[in-house]
Homo-oligomer: A and B are copies of this chain.
Amino acid sequence: MRINISSVSKAFNGNQILKDLNLSIESGEFITLLGPSGCGKTTTLRCVAGLESPDHGSIAVDGHEFVNAETRTMVPPHKRKVGMVFQSYALWPHMSVAANVAYPLKRRKTPAAELRERVATSLEAVGMGSHAKRYPHELSGGQQQRVALARGLVSAKGVMLFDEPLSNLDAKLRIAMRSEIRRLHDEFGNTSLYVTHDQDEALALSDRVIIMRDGVIEQVGTPSEVQRRPVSRFAADFVGFENILECRGITQESGAPEATFEGGLRTTSSELASRTVPGSFAAFRSSDVVLGETAQPGLAGAGRIRDASFSAEARTVIVDLPGNRSITVAVPDAAINADSYRLGGTSVQLWVPSESLVILDR
Contacts and interface: CB of A to CB of B under 8 A. Distances in A.
Given A37-B143, A42-B141, A238 B13 contact: no
B170 A37 contact: yes
Given A42-B141, A88-B141, A313-B223, A37 B169 contact: yes
Contact of A36 (B36, B170, B312): B170
Interface in A134-174: 138-143, 145-146, 163-164, 167-174
B313 A240 contact: no
A222 to B, nearest CB: 9
Nearest to A173: B37
B170 A141 contact: no
A93 interface: no
B170 A238 contact: yes
Interface stretch (A195-203, A253-261, A271-279, A280-288): A195-203
A301 to B, nearest CB: 25
Nearest to A143: B38
Contact of A171 (B42, B240, B314): B240
A168 to B, nearest CB: 5
A234 to B, nearest CB: 11
20 contacts: A12-B138, A36-B170, A36-B173, A37-B140, A37-B141, A37-B143, A37-B169, A37-B173, A38-B140, A38-B142, A43-B140, A141-B163, A141-B164, A142-B197, A171-B197, A172-B237, A172-B240, A203-B313, A204-B314, A224-B312
